[in-house]
Structure 1
């Protein structure tokens, strides 16, 4: 028996290929199914089943296309309302992955909570449980969020999460490996618990769902829920309708004049280079979403849905990787792309924009009256923030830049309508601050990117206050 993990780091998710000598099952596959097909070819196995734990809210599934391509039976929870043919799965259903002595089977366990129809799958060999694919039910030190379906169902689903976690713990031995779909960095998790492996026994000792009574658990779970990425509202319907096959062929190449025209039209031109390179020189009006950051999550969260995207990268490989990640969250086809650097993307005679990078020590010595902008989430700010800072989470900033203009005018004055102060923008490590700095820069605000870890703020002599 083998289990291969396919990680999608930008989304904090995992998919799995598990099986025996000849056949396998793919669980919660990503939309770029070539990765799953390659893994199966490497193992020399046929994919007999494709199994979904739930209709996903955070990414576009590749399950339907993978099942069609391989001829596998597509297992989807019976309660899920979908618009395509599938094999409905009910609690207790058993599918044989590979027969013979010590047969390898997949047993469905209803585990509602993350969604009403959520189903986990226990991989058994000779009737003994070896691993359980828990999707968005029991995670590593957490559970999946219960607030992604319908606000009126949130508390009911939170209570169902508690019951489902106990059902898994009651039915499975301590040594059974827990293999969730949602991991560290996924906004489908109730808390950001770190780790790559766990077991039923480990979760029995550490997971709030298994150590707290239901009322305490639900109270803590609901109190800790943070903002939901805006693009999630599109994922469930896409997955229920049946996603179209992904197209990863290279986008059209754009020259300097075309890029300028797209910027002038208000389209999003996204520079994929790292934040240091972007700060040092970039096209005025371009936005910086680092290709090796959380590109899919944050671009899909911030961009008006359906807005055309042009990708600028240092190499064709960087653009291709970004295109793949964006397709996972439903941004299917960049309208254009260009590679190289800003000197080649700018029109002849066009000046590049830039802004300084700094640390928290530099912030401590800033000019009196400059604005400090905190773009972390509400839960992060509650654990400590720089006194007097303005707080706008990065995913809200595009629609609230006027507030930053107003704050500069209040604290530093204006010359005509032009703010004369600077905006020092920070997050927890620099990645989200870089996105925010590019948004502010494109809006014409003088910005300083604090490319530093927030842990350094207090050591730099800044006053850090906890929310009351």
Structure 2
């Protein structure tokens, strides 16, 4: 048995190609299935089965399209209400994929109908096992339980406690563990580990879901750690239940200058992918900054901040527009328009709409804040509430970036200095404030450097 890991760091997830050298099972494929197909070609195997651990809440699946394209069996829980033809599977069922034996294990918790799969190769590798746990048992923790309904959150947390124990009992201690979530995904919760690989025995010894002997204590701790998740999650499960179709990842023809200007004047969402400093120095008035290529923030925060199902135009060099289209397709934002500029370190956006007004705003580090802040100015912290509670600049207001669009009117009519943990979320917030006509300064610095720069902080007691 061989397991090929297909990572999607932009969403903190993994998909898997599991094969015996001839035929393959794919587990939890992302929507851009060409990556899975490339992995299968490289391995010289044929895809005969595609399996979902659950109806995903954080991305649009490519499972249905992949299965149909390759004539593969599409394994989905029989209890899931879906609008497409699938091979319904249930707890305790065993399927054969070439020489691999695939056991279906019900592991409710992340969702009511969540499944895990224990794969064993009895004819090679001495009976090697691999466990594909989806959003059940993760490295160091478990999948969050509040994505179905607030009324179900506590019950599902109790289910998680029981499910991970049942899953551990269904496999050998030496079995390799392959979760879908837990690599930065907002679908994980609790003290998730940053390790890259693990086994059932390692998790039995270290995962708080397995080491805590008190179920009620585990549940209370899990519920205390629940934090906000991206707004677009609300749309993912319904899309997956309906059966997503083929996605178009081509870059469209660039919109002309007149049309781009019209969209900006009409208040449509025009997203500038350039570096945050280049945007601050000069941008098309009315556009917003979502820097592409900075860590793995782009997809989640764009889907979180911009209202769902709104017309979207991407502005940037071709290479970044192309990647952004792929990333956005994974969360159901299909075929955005684009105004594509030349491949350059700093794209001259003025050339894309020469007659449209340009805008800019100040930016600097913590030292600039200390030198330039006036008493009436506002410091706005756009980190998550739990980050703010742990430590924040004295006197700073806290509005998370994903709430800012609906709360701008709460801010005083004053110059606003905006910061986050690294500068990324602050750059998004600064562009939203600038778009709304507010005077803003972007603090393009890490929060961890604030104290060293002499900025007074208030830490949690």
**TM value normalised by structure 1:** 0.93
- Cα displacement (A) at 1:163: 0.8
Mean Cα deviation higher: 369-378 or 272-281:
272-281
C-alpha separation in 2, matches of 1:276 and 1:47: 45
CA contact (8 A) 1:375 1:427 kept: yes
8 Å contact kept, 2:132–2:180: yes
**Deviation of 1:338 (Å):** 2.3
- How many pairs were matched up? 448
- Say if 2:366 and 2:453, in contact at 8 Å, map to a contact too: yes
Deviation at 1:336, TM superposition (A): 3.5
Do the aligned residues in 2 keep the contact of 1:346 with 1:352 (CA within 8 Å)? no
- Answering whether residue 317 of structure 2 is matched by residue 311 of structure 1, we say no
Aligned position for 1:321: 323
CA distance, structure 2, for counterparts of residue 386 and residue 176 of structure 1? 47
**Gap runs ≥5 in structure 2:** none
The CA distance in 2 between the partners of 1:175 and 1:466, in whole Å, is 43
1:364 partnered with 2:360: no
For 2:307 and 2:373, the matched residues in 1 are separated by: 35
Name the counterpart of 1:455.
448
Q: Which residue of 2 aligns with 1:438?
A: 431
2:258 corresponds to which residue? 257
State the shift of 1:174 in Å.
2.7
User: Contact 2:339–2:352 at 8 Å: present in 1 too?
Assistant: no
CA distance in 1, matches of 2:443, 2:119: 47
Aligned equivalents of 2:207 and 2:310: distance in 1? 41
Greater mean alpha carbon deviation, residues 320-329 or residues 123-132? 123-132
Of residues 298, 309, 314 in structure 1, which corresponds to 2:301?
A: 298
Q: CA deviation at 1:129?
A: 4.8
Give 3-state SS (helix, strand or coil) of 2:271's partner. Answer: strand
Q: Secondary structure at the match of 1:48?
A: strand
SS in 1 for 2:226: coil
Contact 1:381 1:467 in 2 (8 A): no
- The residue that corresponds to 1:84 in the other structure is 84
CA–CA distance in structure 2, aligned partners of residues 321 and 65 of structure 1: 21
Distance 1:97 1:337 in 2: 46
Q: Is the CA contact (8 Å cut-off) linking 1:255 and 1:338 kept in structure 2?
A: no
| Contact preservation (8 Å) 1:253, 1:338 | yes
What is residue 33 of structure 1 aligned with on the other side? 33
Classify 1:402/1:193 alpha carbon distance in 2 versus 1 (closer, same or farther; 3 Å).
Answer: farther
* CA offset digits 1:284-315 (Å, max 9, x no partner): 1111112214222111111111110000112x
Shift, 1:337, TM fit: 3.0
Alignment of 1:38-187 (within 5 A): 38-99=38-99, 104-126=100-122, 128-187=127-186
Q: Is the 8 A contact 2:279 2:360 kept in 1?
A: yes
* Residue in 2 that maps onto 1:425: 418
Q: 1:354: Cα distance to partner?
A: 1.8
Counterpart position of 2:381: 374
For residues 168-317 of structure 1, the aligned pairs below 5 Å read: 168-191=167-190, 193-212=193-212, 213-293=214-294, 294-314=297-317, 316-317=318-319
Give distance in 2, aligned partners of 1:237 and 1:78. Answer: 16
Q: Distance in 2 between matches of 1:344 and 1:257?
A: 12
What is the CA-CA distance between 1:432 and the residue it aligns to? Answer: 0.9
Aligned partners of 2:145 and 2:154 also within 8 Å: yes
Q: CA separation in 1, counterparts of 2:415 and 2:42?
A: 54
Name stretches of at least 5 consecutive residues in structure 1 with no aligned partner. 410-420
Rounded Cα–Cα distance in structure 2 between residues aligned with 1:123 and 1:4: 14
**1:255 shift after superposition:** 2.0
- Deviations along 1:160-213, one digit per CA (max 9) or x if unpaired, are 111111112233233221111112321111135422212212212221101112
SS at match of 1:313: strand
Q: Which residue of 2 aligns with 1:418?
A: none
| DSSP 3-state at the match of 1:88 | strand
The SS at the match of 1:10 is coil
1:355 aligned residue (358, 361, 364): 361
Give the whole-Å Cα distance in 1 for the aligned partners of 2:457 and 2:289: 28
- Answer whether contact 1:251 1:337 (CA < 8 A) is retained: no
Offset of residue 280 of structure 1: 2.1
SS of the residue corresponding to residue 312 of structure 1 reads strand
Contact in 2 for aligned 1:284/1:353 (Cα 8 Å): yes
Contact 2:321–2:338 (CA under 8 A) maintained in structure 1: no
Shift of 1:467: 4.3
Q: What TM-score do you get using the length of structure 2 for normalisation?
A: 0.94
Deviations 1:245-273 (A, max 9, x none): 11112223112221110011111000011
